[in-house]
Chains A and B, each alone.
Chain A
Amino acid sequence: MDAPYYTIVNPLTLVRLPRRLPHTGELLVNIGDTVEATQAVAQCVEPPAFCIINVSQELGVPPKKAAEHLKVKIGSEVKEGQILAARGLLGGRTCYAPMHGIITGFGRGRLLLEAPPHTTTLNALIPGTVVELFPDSGVLIEAVGAFIQGIWGNEQESYGVLRGMVKNPRQPLRAKNLDPAVQGTIIVGGIQLDEETLNQAKAMQVRGILVGSIPPALLSKVRALEFPVIATEGIGEIPMCDAIFQLLRSLDGREIAVNGHMHSRWGPERPYALVPMPAANASPVAPEQPLKPGSRVRALRAPYRGLSGEVVAIQPGLTMLETGARLPGVQVDFNGETAFIPYANLERLL
């Protein structure tokens, strides 16, 4: 199959997106349920913090004798600083609880103290209908709306109002443009952002950023943010592809779900953004359609990286690149400039 890779950039499509718990847990919805973005669909108990208290060592007694000095039992709840074991009176030794928790085990002279468990809930993130349950681990939600796949995300997710901040995809996001009006919104930049802009976005409490690319030097800072940042093109200095920019621009002011996850226990994922729509007649994209003149595509490698255009002709045979490689591919019209792009460096926009 020629150019099998694709990115969905679609103003109205039907998608099915999984929502998964990080650990085994409990599902809170059923098949057929309609869910809102902020509605909890599943929950799980996080592995608790714990500590091992070496009673034998702290009291200076052999492990076999440590049990004689315990002041707590397995299963008992203890407060931070509570006496767990003691030996002797004046001048004796005492062993205190380093944190609040429950005594869950004792052996070889050591106590196991676990913090009280806390529960994590998983929101639907995208408004839609539950169409499948993954036993103890998550749900599959069907939704309709404008859907855009990114290429890099910082493992965060959020829901908010979409707000464009630049006039064209080659314009960078600037700190000076981020005023208090962006609070609670998901903002759209063009080519990239800088550290000052990130700090300003954080200070203004934005809920997310969609941008063309992220400079390599900024990645660790972006990863540490608590709101999602998605790059639609990659890492470096690449303008947002025109097809994505124009679609986002047309959706300004609407609510948008942004998911920046790239990894999960179930394998790699693609970051995405979804603007829910009330339409009932949307259909899923058709990736099996062959590439043909008129197909929307995006180039993936320099010198055309990030440019979107339209296939004007399937190039017969093999074409030689600057590197000497001879490859099959197509002629693509990038807003008036036509260039040969090998299939390997092309993806379809569906």
Chain B
Amino acid sequence: MADEHTIESIMIADCGTVSTKVLFLERVEDSYRFVAQAEAPTTLHAPWNDISTGVVYAIEEIERITGRTLLSGGFLISPQNGMQGVDAFVVTLSAPEPLHLLVGGLVREMSLESARRAAAGTYTQIDTVLSREGNLHSPEEQWARLVRDQAPDVVLLVGGVDGGAARPVMELADAIALGLSMLEQERRPVLLYAGNSTLRPALVKLIGDITRLEVVDNVRPSAEEEHLGPTTAALERLYMETRVNQTPGLDTLAAWSRLPLLPTATAFGNTVEYLWHATNQADRGALGIDLGAAHVTVAAVFEGRLTLSVHAQGAAYGPLAWAEAQGLDPLLRWMPEEIEPAEVWAWLYDRQLRPWTIPHESREFLLEQAALREMLRYALAQARPGWDPGKAQYQADVMPYLDPILISGGALARQPRPGQILLTVLDGLEPVGISTILLDLNRAAAALGAVATVKPLAAAAALEDGTLIPLGTVISPLGKGWSGEQILKMRITYDDNTTLDVEARYGELEIWPLLPGQRATLELRPSRRFDVGLGGPGRGGKVQALGGLVGLVVDGRGRPLELPEKADPRRKRLRRWLWDVGG
């Protein structure tokens, strides 16, 4: 591998559940420039059963686009030699199935909740929870049966503060040990213990050579304290070990890259962390949402601390399971036209059976947008309890102040019009105050996060060089008013000193021109009951705004966003908002 200062080109492959994206970056003087991007199906499963095949398809496409020779005999040429090959190759993955967990613990709101949050830090799926709750008859037998029949990848045992409850934890451990001993040796899952630390010697003695036991710090060392990091790190290691490293064809990709493979979520988190540091606003957080086909990754950074959560409710595979649990009403409320439930169910199944397809008709496109809104809302509802927003949290029942907000994921990025993406994001996230919305159009954010672990200058240069496209600056005044009430006066002073005086009204989405690459100074004067994040209700001030594909947006619809109960006025309003953003 060449040193960083001599790296002329970087190729990045991100293997998602449905599609594989490959990016090609090239050094131009002191910066790295995005040259080309290509996409191919992820070929992890039948009929290909080799993840490297999809990467080769995408690299061949980049060869066609750039006219370069990158492959020779099906292998990547490295290092670069003139117009042939690349100097560095980086791989991120979210394609492998998540780690299946069985979680045992004592109290749902305490240790089990901490275990859930720790597990959400990487690609896991909690299939079963064992606990004392529910007044089980002969719980040991039921627990042991669940362990044996589920045969998860990992059993995560938590419970008891340090020095606290011993007997109930050991009863659980005893039943788990019995269930494990009834499984074939090669199918026995790892037992990860993150409970009462004083019980570790007893656990080691009990498990003996039944299975591999890993012990980490207690997720809940005391009632008030939560310590998730070691459990999340252990689960991520196990995910890499039992899922990623067993991926068919990964050895080919690993042979092309001397850089470590990273889970996509971890890499995406690195980028969001970078964005927070780049803007460096102590009273604002940075948020990144990567809405993939199978997973939603929510990366939130407050006061420099990253909280990462991964939810198995992605854009393609998530909506069906979600609708089965929630019913169709939350989805249908976003539809600007009437639709039969049977049609919606058929669409939900089809979306899952053929996740790579794209809506051809407007009706299906509107359904997809509705589902994306709800997937965003669901992911946030899951992630937010784990945040520690500090000064960024102005009011408990709304979002903390977030700037920037990074949006990634194929289902969002491939929407035809920027306004449609923005509206989906505003409805799904309901930001407050002033936020710059960045779109990861080329789906490079995770890949650059992976590059940053080893080549930080290259990643930073690529991020600053326009890899992330601003959709615009959004001002979302916090407060309640009546329809049509004036809530904000604003003077926009453009770079050429021309000015525009505008007003925003309650219930409306207003858009003013501010082109990509353009900056403007905004002089904001909210009415006395509305807060734009400049010190409280009625407090205004001057701020810099970044232009984007949509422009400068004032979302005057209030927070939390309320839709009319009755179908006709609601549909009318949804159509109006879609029209307002050019959708």
A interface residues (Cβ-Cβ under 8 A, vs B): 1, 4-6, 23-24, 47, 50-52, 54, 105, 108, 110, 112, 151-152, 215-217, 219, 234-237, 267-270, 287, 300-305, 321-327, 341-342, 344-345
Pick from A1, A108, A269, A345 the residue with the most CB of B within 10 Å.
Answer: A1
Q: How far is the CA of A217 from the CA of B343 in the complex (A)?
A: 11
B interface, size bucket: 35 or more
Residue of B nearest to A18 (CB): B46
Q: How far is the CA of A236 from the CA of B44 in the complex (A)?
A: 28
B residues near A23, Cβ cutoff 8 Å: 184, 187
B416/A301 in contact, CB under 8 A = no
A47/B350 in contact, CB under 8 A = no
Choice from A112, A216, A270, A301 contacting B359 with Cβ under 8 Å: A301
Q: How far is the CA of A219 from the CA of B352 in the complex (A)?
A: 15
The secondary-structure label for the interface of chain B is helix
B186/A237 in contact, CB under 8 A = no
B144/A52 in contact, CB under 8 A = yes
B interface residues (Cβ-Cβ under 8 A, vs A): 40-41, 44-47, 57, 60-61, 97, 138, 140-141, 144-145, 148-149, 174, 178, 182-184, 186-187, 342-343, 345-350, 353-354, 356-365, 414-417, 420
Residue of B nearest to A339 (CB): B360
Choice from B47, B61, B178, B357 contacting A287 with Cβ under 8 Å: B47
A323/B342 in contact, CB under 8 A = no
Contacts known (A52-B138, A236-B350); A303 close to B41, Cβ less than 8 A: no
Contacts known (A4-B41, A235-B350, A270-B46); A50 close to B357, Cβ less than 8 A: no
B360/A54 in contact, CB under 8 A = no
Q: How far is the CA of A346 from the CA of B562 in the complex (A)?
A: 39
Choice from A51, A269, A300, A324 contacting B416 with Cβ under 8 Å: A324
**Could you pull out 12 A-B pairs where Cβ atoms are within 8 angstroms?**
A23-B187, A24-B186, A50-B144, A54-B138, A151-B353, A287-B47, A305-B350, A322-B362, A324-B416, A344-B356, A344-B357, A345-B360
5 additional A-B pairs beyond A50-B144, A216-B349, beta carbons within 8 Å, are A6-B47, A47-B183, A235-B350, A301-B360, A342-B360
Choice from B145, B342, B343, B354 contacting A50 with Cβ under 8 Å: B145
B184/A234 in contact, CB under 8 A = no
B residues near A152, Cβ cutoff 8 Å: 349, 353
Task: Pick the 10 closest A-B CB pairs, nearest first.
Answer: A236-B346, A324-B416, A216-B345, A235-B349, A323-B365, A325-B416, A52-B141, A301-B360, A344-B358, A1-B57
A303/B361 in contact, CB under 8 A = yes
B360/A302 in contact, CB under 8 A = yes
Q: How far is the CA of A314 from the CA of B420 in the complex (A)?
A: 29
A216/B342 in contact, CB under 8 A = yes
Q: How far is the CA of A326 from the CA of B416 in the complex (A)?
A: 7
Residue of B nearest to A305 (CB): B350
Q: How far is the CA of A300 from the CA of B415 in the complex (A)?
A: 19
Choice from B178, B184, B364 contacting A112 with Cβ under 8 Å: B178
Residue of B nearest to A110 (CB): B140
- For the complex formed, measure the closest distance between the CB of A85 and the CB atoms of chain B, giving whole angstroms: 17
Contacts known (A304-B360, A345-B358); A108 close to B174, Cβ less than 8 A: yes
Residue of A nearest to B356 (CB): A344
A residues near B141, Cβ cutoff 8 Å: 50-52
B346/A237 in contact, CB under 8 A = yes
A residues near B47, Cβ cutoff 8 Å: 6, 287
- For the complex formed, measure the closest distance between the CB of B342 and the CB atoms of chain A, giving whole angstroms: 6
Choice from A1, A237, A300, A322 contacting B361 with Cβ under 8 Å: A322
Q: How far is the CA of A152 from the CA of B354 in the complex (A)?
A: 11
A residues near B414, Cβ cutoff 8 Å: 325
